[in-house]
Structure 1
Amino acid sequence: MGSVCKRWNEIVNSRRFLWNFSNILSQKPWYFMFTSNDNPAGYAYDPILRKWYVFELPCNLTSCWFIASSCGLVCFMDNQTRSQLFVCNPITKNFRKLEEPPRLNSSPDYSALAISVDRKSLSYTISIVKSKQVPGDFIQWDTSIHVYNSDTQSWVTLATEVLRGWRGGDESVICHGVLYCLIYSTLVMGGNSNRHGLIMYDLSRTSSHASLMGTLIPVPCSLTCGRLMNLKEKLVMVGGIGKPDRPDIIKGIGIWVLDKKEWQEVARMPHKFFQGFGELDDVFTSSGNDDLIYIQSYGAPALLVFDLYQKQWKWSQKCPVTKRFPLQLFTGFSFEPRLEVAP
């Protein structure tokens, strides 16, 4: 529409048009699938029309990046230095490079990225949880929380703590103004299934907090490929359920919602869908927004969709991408297709 004439271009790029347009249309999240290489192109799945579109990010952000999304914006962080950050709107192709986060715990062993957009003001908050092993001591890990505010365009360090027996990972999410982060036990012995936990930090508080470990919530089972997501301000976790004798081999995939520090299982993948992933192929990714959760094996372009509201499982339309060699890997992330949100 914008290419018709200058007047139409002014209209479709006006704030009023973009706001009305985005609020009239259903904003079910799309899923962007790409192969793990240096090509920023891939395919985006629209669950309303059940169609795949050839899709390309505005710059090369698909190679070894941490990715988080919220309300139309997607945040990327590089895997090497953990200091380059970009925020972009995949639909409008607008993007912005952010200033580097604090170098406390520089070159961390693990980093967890999260973003949260305020749907009224459209300002956003980005958090990074850095975790670095104390030299010569695998039991103790330096952990720090850093937060960026788009209004002030600056970073603050909210917490620094040495976790004993636990380390951070690469999975976190912001929900209702609270930062949640999965942590992993460094004291796993024998058949101990308590290998994961959840810690939280209230981002609205400015005073000092108690110990992060004081907020620890155990996960409901032996977990693999655990992912956290914010679905309409509900904290949801998706993960593979490990076998009691072989926790590294999953017997199913479950979905839980956190309710007053208690996990409630809301769904478990039916066996007929689980077979589509292959029992021994226990490496998968998942992400979600609104009421939809997308689950995808790294080894194939098949995409499974779960509707949390309707409690329905279904495969997406077949993705046009084809697997060209046996070890080719696929991954992706979900995002809301919105026009009015700017990075």
Structure 2
Amino acid sequence: MAAVPAVDAEGSVIFSDLGYNGIHEEDDKYGREMVSQPKKETSKMDANIWRLLPDHLIERVLPWLPVPSIVRSQLVCKSWNSMINSRLFSHYYSEAYFLVEREPWFLVFPKKHENLGLAYDPLENRWINLPFNFLPTESRAVATAEGLICMIPKANNINSLYICNPFSKSWRVVPRPPGLLKFFFLVAGVVVEKMTRSFKMVLAGSELVSGDIDQFVLTAEVYDSETNCWMRSRSFLVEAPVFPWRAISHGILYCVIGQAPWNIIGFNVHNGSWFRISAPMPALLTSVKLMDHKGRLILIGGIGNSGITTEIGMWELNEASVEWMKVGGLPKEFCDGFLMSLSRRFACVGHGDLIYFTSKKYPKMLVYDLSTQSWNWMQCCPELVDPHLHIFNGFCFQPRLDM
């Protein structure tokens, strides 16, 4: 999918600020260890510096900027707009993309806004609009990877899927695989090849074995962008249906099956094989979520007795020792304030270093940084009436211009 960054002629809302940058608190009623979201400092460069800089150097500098800055740079002048839309710039951008660590955005889709996503940019500390009205029909997102979003049309009579980039507004029609609607709980993922920028899309689900309520068959359909074909995996018999909590890590789609004490199943997207994770699950888990942390699988779970969450823990799968190693958590004293509902349930989504958390009845979101092991408060976007509900359909999204 060739991608060229674009700005709407009508002054689109691609990077329009929602007019809310959050509340910055120096202290929090639950303790000083809870670090607040810092304000981002921006400094203005002398215009003379940029005016005297040769075009070939500007062409090498701009690809290192964050995506919003690159898109806004198109409005500087016609020559910059032409430069950013050139193939050479796309080549430089691809080179720079893998050399700069970029924090993932948090992307949600409010139900009251059709064809509109809301994304939180942690670098600029603001919410922005991402319109999806460039797609032929209203669709829902099911997976993201490297700037691409897999969308399934809401109308069942449309026999196609879309893979799109909301920044370039480029999209590709993908034929819907046969038997998709038979799946009991759909699990989706996208794997992008680093060198070729080709991708594989996997749609997996479980089907009830006729006459036996304790037997389900896991099946996956894998689409290859290079061959434009779907391949169906071998079936894998399990004792419970697959749940929508999943993560893609190192080309493996991991998903959760059943309820407590839960099991985790892996699917190798490249060779089409299923396997079980044999590492014993951590004790006293009340809930399970999965995420990828730079090629390593992270398990996020509630901890407590009798199904009541009193702590939130995080573990990394150690494949060599076949065990879950604890890498962080939210202490009990903070959970008492954050988990305010009677059910004490929370939701989260994460990728890379960042994990976004919400809980019922709490007005803010929590963000955990695995690299610094720090917790930050993040004010929810006013457009999200129920952030806890929206995060169940939310994604960590890595903006990218060259896909």
2:285 and 2:171 mapped to 1: Cα distance?
35
Give the structure-1-normalised TM-score.
Answer: 0.80
Partner of 1:266: 327
- Matched residue SS, 1:35: coil
Deviation at 1:314, TM superposition (A): 0.4
Note closer, same or farther for the CA distance 1:280–1:119 as it changes in structure 2 (3 Å cut).
Answer: farther
2:343 and 2:302 mapped to 1: Cα distance?
11
Note closer, same or farther for the CA distance 1:106–1:162 as it changes in structure 2 (3 Å cut).
Answer: farther
Note closer, same or farther for the CA distance 1:42–1:162 as it changes in structure 2 (3 Å cut).
Answer: closer
Matched, 1:244 2:305: yes
Letter in 2 for 1:308: L
Q: Which has the larger radius of gyration?
A: 2
Letter in 1 for 2:167: I
Partner of 1:170: 244
Q: CA RMSD in A?
A: 3.3
For residues 54-95 of structure 1, the C-alpha deviation after alignment (integer angstroms, 9 at most, x for no partner) is 333345899894522221112234678597532222322322
Q: Is the 8 A contact 1:239 1:254 kept in 2?
A: yes
2:352 and 2:250 mapped to 1: Cα distance?
14
Partner of 2:149: 74
Note closer, same or farther for the CA distance 1:101–1:171 as it changes in structure 2 (3 Å cut).
Answer: farther
Q: Is the 8 A contact 1:239 1:253 kept in 2?
A: yes
Matched, 1:291 2:350: no
In the TM superposition, what are the counterparts of 1:27-46 in structure 2 within 5 Å?
27-37=102-112, 39-46=114-121
Runs (4+) off by over 6 Å: 60-64
In the TM superposition, what are the counterparts of 1:144-163 in structure 2 within 5 Å?
144-163=219-238
Deviation at 1:233, TM superposition (A): 0.6
Q: 1:110 aligns with which of 165, 174, 185?
A: 185
Q: Is the 8 A contact 1:197 1:217 kept in 2?
A: no
Partner of 2:162: 86
Q: Is the 8 A contact 2:246 2:254 kept in 1?
A: yes
2:111 and 2:361 mapped to 1: Cα distance?
11
Matched, 1:256 2:332: no
1:90 and 1:270 mapped to 2: Cα distance?
38
Q: Is the 8 A contact 2:359 2:388 kept in 1?
A: no
Matched, 1:319 2:319: no
Q: Is the 8 A contact 2:380 2:387 kept in 1?
A: no
Letter in 2 for 1:116: V
Deviation at 1:223, TM superposition (A): 4.0
Partner of 2:372: 310
Q: Is the 8 A contact 2:341 2:361 kept in 1?
A: no
Matched, 1:179 2:258: no
Matched, 1:16 2:88: yes
Note closer, same or farther for the CA distance 1:93–1:321 as it changes in structure 2 (3 Å cut).
Answer: farther
1:155 and 1:34 mapped to 2: Cα distance?
28
Give the structure-2-normalised TM-score.
Answer: 0.69
Letter in 1 for 2:125: R
2:351 and 2:177 mapped to 1: Cα distance?
26
Q: Is the 8 A contact 1:267 1:311 kept in 2?
A: yes
Note closer, same or farther for the CA distance 1:271–1:312 as it changes in structure 2 (3 Å cut).
Answer: same
Deviation at 1:282, TM superposition (A): 4.0
Q: Is the 8 A contact 2:248 2:292 kept in 1?
A: yes
What fraction of aligned residue pairs are identical, expressed as a percent?
30
Partner of 1:230: 292
Partner of 1:98: 174
Q: Is the 8 A contact 2:140 2:153 kept in 1?
A: yes
Deviation at 1:50, TM superposition (A): 1.6
Q: 2:206 aligns with which of 116, 131, 141?
A: 131
Structure 2: which 5+ residue stretches go unaligned?
1-72
Point out the more displaced range, 148-157 or 26-35: 26-35
Note closer, same or farther for the CA distance 1:308–1:40 as it changes in structure 2 (3 Å cut).
Answer: same
Q: 2:129 aligns with which of 54, 68, 77?
A: 54
1:96 and 1:298 mapped to 2: Cα distance?
37
Deviation at 1:155, TM superposition (A): 1.0
